[in-house]
Structure 1
Amino acid sequence: MSTATSTTATPTPDHLAEEFEALFGYRPLGSFRAPGRVNVIGEHTDYNLGFVLPIAIDRAVYVAIGKRPEGGAEGRIDHSTGESATVEPPRRGESIRIVSDHRDRAGQRLSGQFTAAELVPGTLPGWLSHAAGVVDEIAKTTGTTVGGVDLYIESTVPVGAGLSSSHALEVAVLIALDEVFVLGLDDREKVLLTQRAENDFVGAPTGIVDQAASIMTEAGHALFLDCRDLSARQIPFDLDAEGLRLLVIDSKVSHSHSESGYGARRKTCEESAAIFGVDSLRELADDVDLGELTDEQRKRVRHVISENARVRATVELLADNERSTVADHDDRIRAIGDLLVASHESLAYDYEVSCVELDVAVAAAMGAGALGARMIGGGFGGSGIALIHADQVSAVSDAVITAFAEHGFGKPDIFAVSAGGGAARFD
């Protein structure tokens, strides 16, 4: 799923305010940011009510928001380009106008306009449906009809890379509307509201990890989240202090069966849980007898059970790492790397959501000395990650790029991320 935009330069609050005023003709009330996420470990466990360990990354979706003055501003000149602003005049006083920094092939900014009352699932284009879903769910959840506002969006989260750009958009829009309309939502309510928007309005059967990571994570930490009750612990994960880097390897491929494959796997997990008479696969013991399942069900269940165990093991290693000696510390970091590789193998062979590009990326990174590597996200394309020492960035990156070229793949986009803070006002 794509969001409105994806650039690389981090905007400033002044820049967002200036762009907003150029488009809408008045100053915004403020700006907000919501980060994308990398799931260190714990893939396809969230909708099975298991455990995940994501970080909020230092790339985010930014939203400037304003309430229209009486009479409605009709847009101005985009002074950054000299072109006429693409924003439409407000059709109704209660309408919501959204403009993105991303441009279509004709060079026009992507934009849209709707009212809360007219929202119907499936009627708005991809990126806009994520924002509209939040507005729709706010009305259902809180009874507040959002309207008479304008939003300007920029993003530094790569689109289609499995870093949750669409969820970051939803969260950024929600926290902006939460403040402007004084909704008073707590973190748990925000997480659940954005998940419902994604499931019910956008129509994607996603779990809870992406929204939770964007909303709840503290800088320099990973979020150990129990997806059954949303209880969470902040686990120290300061990569810079450890002399480590987490490389994101964006394969820039997305295979056509990603949407249907995700839903099919979720359905298989739900059917398997029903066979055992439990609400979710989370309830199954690590040594449960899987003999009565089909081969496909057995593999899916085996992944979920083993992945939950890997998350717990990673948390224990990270929590104990602060008290370890230097030698023991190195052993623990390598053990985490081994768990990442085991996660990838399970995703590739038991859950069957990897692809040849991601397999090549993981193999090349490990061959160049990475401590660990695996695919992330829903699968069938997107990104992988590699845990490396700080001085290995060039060597690992070059090895992956070379391997892609040798296989005839396009050049991947590779960059390091750090564990940033969660969604907040951006002043």
Structure 2
Amino acid sequence: MLLADQPIPVYTNLTDLYGSFGSSLNHAVRWNELTEEFKSRFGRPPTYIVRAPGRVNLIGEHIDYALFGVLPTAVERDILIACAPRPGDSPGSVVAENLNAKYSKQDFAPTTISDGKAEGWHLDIDKKELRWESYVKAGYYGVLSHYFPKSTDKPVPVDMLVTGSVPAGSGLSSSAAMVVASTLTFLAVNNKLEQVQGSEHKPLSKGNLVTMAMENEKRVGVNSGGMDQAASVMSNASSALYITFYPTLSASPLPLPQRALFIITNSLVVSDKAVTAKHRYNLRVVETLVGARVLARALGIKLHDVHGEGHGHGHGHGHNKTKWEKVTYREVLGRFVNEPQGCGPEGDMGPESLIIALKGILTKLNCLLPQRIRGAAARERESEELGVTMEEMIEMSGLSPKVFHEVYLSWVDVEATHFQLYKRAKHVFSESLRVLQFRKICLDAADNLPFRSISNKASTNNEPDRLGQLMNESQKSCSDVFECSCPELDLLTKLCREAGAYGSRLTGAGWGGCAVSLVAEDKAEAFIQKIKETYPPYKDLEGPKLEEVIFATRPSSGACGGFFKFWCRKVD
């Protein structure tokens, strides 16, 4: 069975959920403390505890929303939500509390709205001043809209208590973990973990939960590509995930070399991608989408713009009756090499052909530069000169200003004087190539079992060195080309390489947060000590405070393995 089709299971002990790998986190203590605190605050035990982990992306940054494959894995650090229906209160009302004292108690309830034809739900989510409960509301909204379409069917009132060990704004996807956990919470307490298909009741699948969580996170103002949610839901405790989004969402396990450790180092620069989205994350999404249309037009690739009757003009006349395709770079690449189109395996050229295609299209990107500087000398120019103005970008798209705004700007807030179509495309295609090369190295190593030791420098094919080189190339591209790094991350990854890492790169959206480094298992302790001594923000940290900012991780179970029914609960 494909990972996306697997049901979300219920576990009754922590060993099955977390596996045998231990960390500095004492899982049993955390679960028991959360249970006892819930009982203390609400006067009864929770019905469920829901878990959703954070994730680390090993390689493949900012390419998921271009529909290219990525290589993340869930980490042990997670969001836990204890919850129970609350008897005798108004339907749908929520009391949300957080064990972290800096997050205040929240009471809220959805309201019904009507457009004259049908009723819907409303929850007030402030995208400008993002608060912790906004992620709870985002998860709730998806459950309401999917499972309570009629006002006669009322959701139950809920008490919930949240705790988390994923540092916020760290690049380990605490926001996606929170949205996945809250979505799963409201599904569980409302008994919506099964879907009715005809006369059958089928368990909600991991793919269903990923899709819903993706939709939900957009309600806090982040246009996520789906990697974070898929990693949080679909991961298992024995491998990384190769996640693809074209032609449909798919995930497959990827074995990693034994004795390999990925060590997370927090730059301690907080980057809240929802708050800064208009000139960082969402701006990159717009630059990437517009660049795909411009590249398609320059290469003579047909776009699936559906014109209404009598409205076939290319510059937007009659746009109210025209559906303009928001094409992605992955779709442009497929059409560039005449890939068969469709769902399932017949709509995917396969990794080997994809590698060849990526190498080819990387030579075709000069059309994304301003007309005035196209040519080899462009590589030496300043970043602003490589960008195009809004007026130039609209002209290159072939759309009228009104249509362009409707297609690319009406649904998102962005700020920029110059838009870096060329640089973003160069990163997307080269990073996608690195993901496939990383995957191939891991698969080739797995075919030669037993895996070579990660600490054996004399290994015939030098897998750790090759993986590390790809990670280092990724960091350089993220910093110089996609411009999603920051001085602290540039310094931290440099220090990690000097401390003995095979490779080190930022992970997550960037502009702060964490780096991930590939380190030989027997060198991990020395590596951590070296970083403590050389990265200035770490020098005064000891014990638990140091363990919060630098820690080793292996693949962890996802949210698919993480909520308990307490009538059969047993904590190991």
Matches of 2:53 and 2:155, distance apart in 1 = 23
Query: 1:267 offset after TM fit, Å?
Result: 0.8
Paired position in structure 2 for 1:344: 475
Paired position in structure 2 for 1:383: 514
Paired position in structure 2 for 1:293: 368
Paired position in structure 1 for 2:97: 99
Paired position in structure 2 for 1:281: 329
Q: Please give the per-residue CA displacement for 1:229-252, whole angstroms capped at 9, x wherever unaligned.
A: 111111123x6xx11211111011
Paired position in structure 2 for 1:121: 125
Report if the CA contact (8 A) 2:167-2:174 is conserved. yes
Q: Please give the per-residue CA displacement for 1:365-409, whole angstroms capped at 9, x wherever unaligned.
A: 11122111101111111110111011222332233333332x999
Summarize the alignment of residues 12-91 of structure 1 with structure 2, pairs less than 5 Å apart: 12-69=30-87, 71-72=88-89
Summarize the alignment of residues 224-303 of structure 1 with structure 2, pairs less than 5 Å apart: 224-228=242-246, 229-237=248-256, 242-254=258-270, 258-259=276-277, 260-277=279-296, 279-283=327-331, 284=333, 285-286=357-358, 287-288=360-361, 289-294=364-369, 295=386, 296-303=420-427
Q: Which residue of 230, 233, 251 maps to 1:212?
A: 230
Q: What's the secondary structure of 1:162's corresponding residue?
A: coil
Report if the CA contact (8 A) 2:156-2:189 is conserved. no
Summarize the alignment of residues 126-165 of structure 1 with structure 2, pairs less than 5 Å apart: 126-143=131-148, 145-165=154-174
Q: Please give the per-residue CA displacement for 1:15-38, whole angstroms capped at 9, x wherever unaligned.
A: 322211111112211212111000
Matches of 1:189 and 1:375, distance apart in 2 = 29
Q: What's the secondary structure of 1:210's corresponding residue?
A: helix
Report if the CA contact (8 A) 1:101-1:154 is conserved. yes
- TM-score w.r.t. length of structure 1: 0.85
Query: 1:176 offset after TM fit, Å?
Result: 2.5
Gaps of 5+ in 2: 1-23, 112-121, 195-203, 297-302, 304-326, 334-356, 370-385, 387-419, 453-457
Matched AA of 2:104? L
Segment drifting more, 30-39 vs 281-290: 281-290
Q: Please give the per-residue CA displacement for 1:92-139, whole angstroms capped at 9, x wherever unaligned.
A: 3531111110002xxxx6221111225133278521011101111112
Q: What's the secondary structure of 1:51's corresponding residue?
A: coil
Report if the CA contact (8 A) 1:127-1:166 is conserved. no
Matched AA of 1:114? F
Paired position in structure 1 for 2:399: none
Query: 1:258 offset after TM fit, Å?
Result: 4.5
Summarize the alignment of residues 270-419 of structure 1 with structure 2, pairs less than 5 Å apart: 270-277=289-296, 279-283=327-331, 284=333, 285-286=357-358, 287-288=360-361, 289-294=364-369, 295=386, 296-324=420-448, 326=452, 328=459, 331-405=462-536, 413-419=549-555
Query: 1:410 offset after TM fit, Å?
Result: 8.7
Report if the CA contact (8 A) 2:143-2:187 is conserved. no
Report if the CA contact (8 A) 1:63-1:152 is conserved. yes
Paired position in structure 2 for 1:425: 563
Gaps of 5+ in 1: 1-6, 73-91
Report if the CA contact (8 A) 1:101-1:110 is conserved. no
Matches of 2:495 and 2:540, distance apart in 1 = 15
Query: 1:178 offset after TM fit, Å?
Result: 2.0
Matches of 1:274 and 1:302, distance apart in 2 = 15
Matched AA of 1:251? S
Q: What's the secondary structure of 1:55's corresponding residue?
A: strand
Matches of 1:153 and 1:368, distance apart in 2 = 37
Q: Please give the per-residue CA displacement for 1:340-381, whole angstroms capped at 9, x wherever unaligned.
A: 111111111110111111111111111122111101111111
Structure with the higher strand share, 1 or 2: 1
Matched AA of 1:121? I
Matches of 2:282 and 2:86, distance apart in 1 = 40
Instruction: Give the aligned CA root-mean-square deviation in angstroms.
Output: 2.4
Segment drifting more, 302-311 vs 174-183: 174-183
Matches of 1:174 and 1:349, distance apart in 2 = 37
Matched AA of 2:423? K
Query: 1:173 offset after TM fit, Å?
Result: 1.7
Matched AA of 2:190? F
Matched AA of 2:553? V
1:255–1:55 Cα change, 3 Å: closer
- TM-score w.r.t. length of structure 2: 0.65
Matches of 1:209 and 1:146, distance apart in 2 = 29
Matches of 2:191 and 2:68, distance apart in 1 = 33
Report if the CA contact (8 A) 2:533-2:539 is conserved. no
Summarize the alignment of residues 176-187 of structure 1 with structure 2, pairs less than 5 Å apart: 176-183=185-192, 184=194, 185-187=204-206
1:166–1:280 Cα change, 3 Å: same
Query: 1:40 offset after TM fit, Å?
Result: 0.7
1:176–1:214 Cα change, 3 Å: same
Matches of 1:306 and 1:410, distance apart in 2 = 39
Matches of 1:12 and 1:57, distance apart in 2 = 16
Matches of 2:160 and 2:294, distance apart in 1 = 47
Matches of 2:30 and 2:269, distance apart in 1 = 31
Matches of 1:207 and 1:152, distance apart in 2 = 28
Matches of 2:368 and 2:108, distance apart in 1 = 47
1:170–1:255 Cα change, 3 Å: closer
